[in-house]
Amino acid sequence: MTIEQELDLYLRARFTLLVLVTPEEERALQSLKVVCDQSRRRCLTWDVAEGFQLLSGTGSAPSAPDPKTALEQIDKAEDNTTFVLKDFHELWDNPQIKRKLRSVVQRLKFTKKSIIITAPADKIPEELKDEVVVVEFPLPNAPELETVLNQLTQTPGVKVNLTPLGREKLVQAALGLTTAQAQRVFAKAIVRDGLLDDRDIDLVTEEKKQIIRESEALEFYATHETPDDVGGLGVLKEWLRLREKAFTQEARNYGLPAPKGIALIGIPGTGKSLTAKMIGGLWRLPLLRLDIGALFGSLVGESEARARRALQLAETVAPCIVWIDEMEKGLAHGGLDSGTSARVFGTILTWMQEKTAPCFVVATANDIASLPPELLRKGRFDEIFFLDLPTLEERQEILTVHLRKRGRVPQDFDPARLARESEGYVGAELEQAIIDAMYFGFNAEREFTTDDISTALQRQVPLSVSQRETINALRDWLREGRAQSASFQETREAEQRFVPLQLDLKSQP
């Protein structure tokens, strides 16, 4: 149902007071004019500066220089008329106006007259909550934004070098902006270098950061990571590559639904958070980190309201990636908070199941035992991946990535030897070994070597030793077939060598 159809339904059902929540007053008035023109309703607007103005229909507009007089004129006006009161929310603190509005609205129930108040937020006085219906006016959709883009690109002198896919992604990147914001950012992209091309997708994405700052619980992450920055995880990378164009119209025309999301479960330090950032870079979509802890407030109902606002904001900037990091810490059962955690969890769970906006959820967790079983059932996620201890090949690849990341040539080292010596180490521990080795070389005023990295590895006690019971429980969970491995499987021989290797590592200094 379109917003015009929804408004028409409310008016035909004789709803007497609507609050239309939107920062785009001009677009809202255009939609209301379409509704009233089609239904042959008379429509008048009123504001404190210009009084009554005719928006649709015929006849003269009454004089009303102040809000009290305006409400009196509405009370006396002819039937089948809609009145749009602009900025009337500014008068919520005026007891006389508030009481007058309430009385008029109660009398309008027996007429065909309706009052629509346009406001940028849905803060309604307690006295009016029983009388009012709040309607969220949606931000412009892709066709509307494409119309804005077409109008700009048809301007004489404007150079356009957009591929069809780039044009679609540029419009997608602007979703979540108002019409005026989209027009400004498109114009900025054109003026910056005199050309509109695929590179301007990033500029539009940057503009979305301004919207994200409105929410305390959402954090915008600029993503520069690519699959080359993540060692291993070949199965997961291939799964993601197959869905790189999943949010395009081409995919919709083919009949493919938008992906819902993935859960990344596994051992700490295996790259779950890095993978979330990599997805944003690979798909060139905004990455929003949902801070579960920031959702909780001290007032009754505040936490649930914050959760709803954060999720609505995520839908506003869709298509996007919503990253819920270490979700077991915020969504685990057993809290002593009078059920607040459970209600927040329920809000997020319902949204994940029912959302229609293209928000791809990446949820990470280290402790599978703390997660409620209903979270991981089929339908919430497209796939559940388990990030295990890296294989021999993956360890070599991870070491190569981190050497290259620090400006070193991997061929000057022996990653194959280091990979053999680091069985049972996770990616974060391999990275730390390289950093420790760099300190050895830096303080000795020389370049660090493979032997330095080997020494650093020997001095570490990896998680596979210090948290052996926890990690074995996680790996048993994978062996039960509850998730798909994100990597190519370790060989049986290496798995059989794993227990004695732990004992050797444990005895090392």
Angle formed at CA 207 by CA 203 and CA 208, multiple of 5 degrees: 120
Tell whether the model's pLDDT for residue 489 goes beyond 70: no
- As a whole number, mean pLDDT of residues 2-20 equals 92
Q: Residues 228, 375: one domain? A: yes
Q: Residues 361, 446: one domain? A: no
Lowest model confidence (mean pLDDT) among 20-29, 190-199, 323-332, 348-357: 323-332
What CATH number corresponds to the domain at position 191? 1.10.8
- As a whole number, mean pLDDT of residues 77-100 equals 91
pTM over 0.75: no
Q: Residues 357, 239: one domain? A: yes
Of 387, 408, 429, the residue at which a domain comes to its end is 387
Q: Residues 309, 408: one domain? A: no
More confident residue, 503 or 383: 383
250: left (phi over 0), alpha (psi -120 to 50) or beta: alpha
Q: Residues 121, 149: one domain? A: no
Per residue in 18-61, pLDDT (tens digit) is 999 888 999 999 999 999 999 999 999 999 999 999 999 888 88
Which residue is listed with tokens 């062996």? 479
What CATH number corresponds to the domain at position 361? 3.40.50.300
Q: Which amino acid is at 72?
A: E
Tell whether the model's pLDDT for residue 368 goes beyond 80: no
Half-sphere exposure at residue 206, Cβ-oriented, CA atoms within 13 angstroms: 11
Q: Which amino acid is at 85?
A: L
d(CA 209, CA 114): 38
More confident residue, 437 or 470: 437
Q: Which residues contact 362 (CB under 8 A, 6 or more apart)?
A: 261, 262, 264, 275, 276, 279, 321, 322, 323, 324
Q: Residues 379, 457: one domain? A: no
Of 92, 120, 136, the residue at which a domain comes to its end is 136
Q: Residues 225, 338: one domain? A: yes
Of 102, 136, 170, the residue at which a domain comes to its end is 136
Q: What SS3 state is found at 20? A: strand
Q: Count the domains in the chain.
A: 4
Predicted local distance difference test score (pLDDT) of residue 153: 82
Q: Which of 122-126, 301-305, 367-371 has the highest mean pLDDT?
A: 122-126
Q: Which residues contact 350 (CB under 8 A, 6 or more apart)?
A: none
Lowest model confidence (mean pLDDT) among 88-92, 306-310, 424-428: 306-310
Q: Residues 53, 21: one domain? A: yes
Spatial contact of 239 and 383, defined as CB atoms under 8 Å apart: yes
Chain-wide mean pLDDT for the chain? 84
Q: Residues 376, 235: one domain? A: yes
Strand order across the 42-47 sheet:
51-56, 42-47, 81-86, 114-119, 17-21, 133-136
Q: Residues 160, 125: one domain? A: no
Predicted local distance difference test score (pLDDT) of residue 477: 77
Predicted local distance difference test score (pLDDT) of residue 248: 81
Predicted local distance difference test score (pLDDT) of residue 456: 95
Q: Residues 292, 441: one domain? A: no
Pairing assessment for the beta strands 287-290 and 218-221 based on DSSP bridges:
antiparallel
Per residue in 394-445, pLDDT (tens digit) is 999 999 999 999 999 999 999 999 999 999 999 999 999 999 999 999 999 9
Q: Residues 370, 319: one domain? A: yes
> Which residue segment(s) compose the domain that 441 sits in?
392-507
Predicted local distance difference test score (pLDDT) of residue 470: 82
Per residue in 242-263, pLDDT (tens digit) is 998 888 878 888 998 888 999 9
DSSP lists the bridge partners of residue 488 as none
**Alpha-helix residue ranges (DSSP H) falling in 355-484:** 392-405, 415-421, 427-443, 450-459, 463-466, 468-479
Spatial contact of 474 and 268, defined as CB atoms under 8 Å apart: no
